[in-house]
Amino acid sequence: MPLDPSTAARLARGLDGRDAARCRAMLEAHADQIRAAVEPALHDPPRGAAWLTALEALAMQGQHDRYVELVEKAQFDGHPVLAAWIVLRRGRLAFLKGLYRQALADAHAAEARLQAAAPFPTPAPVDRLDTWPPSPWEIQAEARLLRAAVARNGGDPATALQIAGDVAAAAEQRADRPSALRARFQEACALQLLGSRADAEAAYRALFGELAALGAERQRGLILANLGLGARQRGEDAVADAWQAEARALFERLGDRLMATKIGALDGAPDPADIRAVGDEESRLVAEMARGEALAAAGDRARAAVVLDQVRWTAEGLGLGWVATSAADHRRRLGADPPLVIDDAGFTTAAGVRVDLRRYGAPRRILLRLAEAHTAAEGPLAADALVTAGWPGERMRPESGLARVYTAVRSLRRLGLSGVLLTEDGGYRLDGPVQRRG
């Protein structure tokens, strides 16, 4: 049976819901017919609502490169609302692949195209995911929520929270339930990044049942993934693994390979082959960041630094603020020299070598006093201060004390503090980062 363009578009929108498997099967069964409806764009940029609705279905079949190409060539004269929806869909795809600057540009472009359709008609209440065509109000809400998502992941969750709150209020006033629930989800995501984790998790749990009633399975998968990330941040790895496994399983049931791959990468289990197949730049950079951390843990700090720098530079160019910040944090920790750790029994060098000083009474006490001075930023300690520290209560001639301090310092340097225990301005001090324990 032929598949008319409007039905194809409704099926494409249904891929976000509980009937995703059935919708995907029908779209795949009519793949050749849908592709034929948009193929003329290769030679003659098409016009018409039918072509645009077929294009919507083509995008959801995974023909992403062709979709972007055809959107660029299409002429949208006379169809500003559908034109805005198609551009917005491209922006959502760009966001999922980590191309945040493109996503933001498309969100603004979609809103600009809607201006050609103003004033908008009074909207009817919306309580379904698969209505076609979408209303101008719904597209405007989606465009603004896309801007909120870019702001959130770009490092500005406060702006995201404000945008999402405004959209939620407007959607509830218009009785647009799907948009209102999506806006409340964006609010919860922003709260999570702002540190209000308890409020965010309460919002996620409250939304979960409402989204189930709506059939918004994709949104429920995102909630499961975010609950997993929250558990991971609290150190509850077993709980996090369970949430993330549920999220991946849900997206796999929906046939959403891109999101299943993304969740695996963000949770520390990237599959390079899948990342390449879906073209997800965000997941690729996260996987590269994990590789940099592994190199650092293996002691290859030079290569780790190169990898982390490349991740940060690329992420900054794409507007992936959270990835850039995370890579910079890892790089900063990598660049800092490990501390000399001093405790009551001895010390551990920056290279990780442990030295026991329990048989070295005076040198051990002198080192503890030097550590105290380093922490208090006292500056170099004169020899007489070290005599008092090394041989408390013992009386001796000044020249004898100087000789003993010299011998103790030489012993400490020989045991591993050469280059760390310095002579300066007639006294002695520790150089570099020092951590005092005990």
Phi, psi (rounded to 5 degrees) for 346: 160, -145
Measured CA to CA in angstroms, residue 263 lies from 118, 129, 227, 249, 283 at distances of 39, 24, 12, 10, 9
Closest to 95 (Cα-Cα) out of 162, 21, 153: 153
Each residue's pLDDT tens digit, 113-125: 888 777 888 878 8
Q: What is the C-alpha separation between 303 and 123, in angstroms, rounded?
A: 57
Predicted pLDDT at 404? 94
Predicted pLDDT at 75? 66
Each residue's pLDDT tens digit, 181-215: 999 999 999 999 888 888 999 999 999 888 888 88
Instruction: Quote the distance between the C-alpha of residue 114 and its chain's center.
Output: 31
338 prior amide bond cis, ω within 30: no
Give the pairing of strands 354-356 and 346-348: antiparallel
Q: What is the C-alpha separation between 14 and 25, in angstroms, rounded?
A: 12
Residue 257 — pLDDT band, cuts 50, 70, 90?
confident
Instruction: Quote the distance between the C-alpha of residue 11 and its chain's center.
Output: 31
Answer whether 65's CB lies under 8 Å from 90's CB: no
Phi, psi (rounded to 5 degrees) for 354: -95, 130
**Lowest model confidence (mean pLDDT) among 42-56, 98-112, 148-162:** 42-56
- Residue 370, pLDDT > 90, answer yes
Average pLDDT, the chain: 84
Closest to 244 (Cα-Cα) out of 212, 274, 277, 221: 221
Predicted pLDDT at 14? 76
Predicted pLDDT at 268? 64
Each domain of the chain, given as residue ranges in start order, spans 280-336, 340-436
Residue 74 — pLDDT band, cuts 50, 70, 90?
low
Class of domain 340-436: mainly alpha
3-state helix, strand, coil in the chain (%, to 5): 70, 5, 25
Each residue's pLDDT tens digit, 273-285: 777 776 778 888 8
